[in-house]
Amino acid sequence: MNVNKFLVGAATAAHQVEGNNIYNDTWVEENLPHSLYDEPSLNAVDHYHCFREDIRLLASAGMNCYRFSIEWSRIQPEPDAWVEAEVEHYREVLKCCHENSILPIVTLLHFTTPKWIITQGGWENPQVIDKFAAFCRRITEELGDLMSIVCTINEANMRMQIAEIMAALGKGSAAKDSDIQAGIHFADDDEYLRQKEMAEAFGLKEGEKAHPFVSPCTPEGDRIVMEAHAAARDAIKEVRPELETGITLTVHDIQCLPGGEQFAASEWDKEFLHYLPWIEEDDFLGVQCYSRKVFGAQGAVWENADTPVTQMGYEDYPAALSGVLRKIAESYHGDLLVTENGIATADDERRCAFIREAADSVKACMKDGIPVKGYIYWSLLDNYEWQLGYSVTFGLIAVDRKTQRRIPKKSLYVPGTLYHTP
């Protein structure tokens, strides 16, 4: 990476913090009569208007980078539309980063997709490859002079993980929502009605299934996502060869007990190894890890009553990050950037301790020669955690959603103090 210091910062995603992203697939889904979403996003935490305050708070806490996403659907709400006023908005966000000595790390697809893309077949239609690449090319043409590091797609392997769990549930497995490192509910008794409502909302034929990004995919759909990444990366590089460009993957620390070796190897292949051919030309890999998976002789080993869990339902296990970085480095030899790691908890002292433990593990990896270039905490703000709504709190900053007042937590000041001497 063309940076001469260790990166430490925090992250957000447009739909989770901006508010009123009305032209994307998630907005449609969260407002269905039989939605899986616990509540709609509405105006979220109004980062759209409050970004200057939020970035200043991040900078004042001693951090030096900010990962955020550009909402495709704001800029291109229809196939032939290009809203320059929204481009200018993100230009102001980028400029604000630079004015505060913050390196912007831009994500160009963080789950949400323009509604019209879903109407055209979504992430199972190969045409999305060229459409996404075209968006990435044009946004780079307009804003690339203010960018430094670009993530094309957030958690590109998420769709295949969802598909695996859905298949397991269909076979009577004890798989659960928390097996995915995101705020997702799986299907319930209203699934038929929900699919009917989604087809109507996206203008699909009766019985035709919608394919948003956050949905189970086929092997072909998995390939489409990775080809979209490669096409986007190439488009960005053609415009701005100097931009450091990569992708982010969501991975667990895969561990095994005696007899679980085959299960663990299979899981690691599905989560990471089979994506290697697609990322070999990237400048870096964005690593996103929150917990672990343990396999025994019979398969997955579930938490017992004494296992500490986060608000997300998965194990509170900060050591997972070190395990993942070391495992990835065995087969991927490029730069690693921790683009997400954090804990959902109401106990901010526990959050502080989690960050310190994660920092210690990252430093140990670096001491052993693993090329970790930065650590980015998820998330900067308590935000809209997808289908779980506002009940889950990852943030370094609390937000009173009635007034949109920012309330910094003690944890806000922890990351920036830990990495000055990696």
Q: Which domains does the chain have, with CATH numbers?
A: 7-250+334-417 (3.20.20.80)
Largest CA-CA distance found in the chain, in angstroms, rounded: 59
pLDDT tens track for 260-316: 999 999 999 999 999 999 999 999 999 999 999 999 999 999 777 788 999 999 999
Confidence of residue 177 (pLDDT cuts 50, 70, 90): low
Contact of 351 with 411, CB cutoff 8 Å:
yes
Confidence of residue 175 (pLDDT cuts 50, 70, 90): low
Whether the predicted pLDDT of 210 surpasses 60: yes
What does the CA dihedral 364, 149, 215, 392 come to, rounded to 10 degrees? 60
Q: Which pLDDT value is given to residue 148? A: 96
What residues have CB less than 8 Å from 327, skipping those under 6 apart?
253, 254, 268, 272
Q: Which pLDDT value is given to residue 259? A: 97
Whether the predicted pLDDT of 173 surpasses 60: no
Q: Which pLDDT value is given to residue 422? A: 41
Please give the model's pTM, rounded to 2 decimal places: 0.96
Q: Which pLDDT value is given to residue 171? A: 53
Percent of the chain with pLDDT over 90: 87
Q: Which pLDDT value is given to residue 154? A: 98
For residue 127, what are the CA distances in angstroms to 26, 118, 206, 210, 235? 20, 11, 22, 15, 16
138's tokens = 């044009």
Other beta carbons less than 10 A from residue 282's beta carbon: 20
**Closest among 46, 71, 67 to 58, alpha carbons compared:** 67
Dist. CA 422–CA 259, nearest whole Å: 38
Over residues 383-397, mean pLDDT: 97
Other beta carbons less than 10 A from residue 131's beta carbon: 20
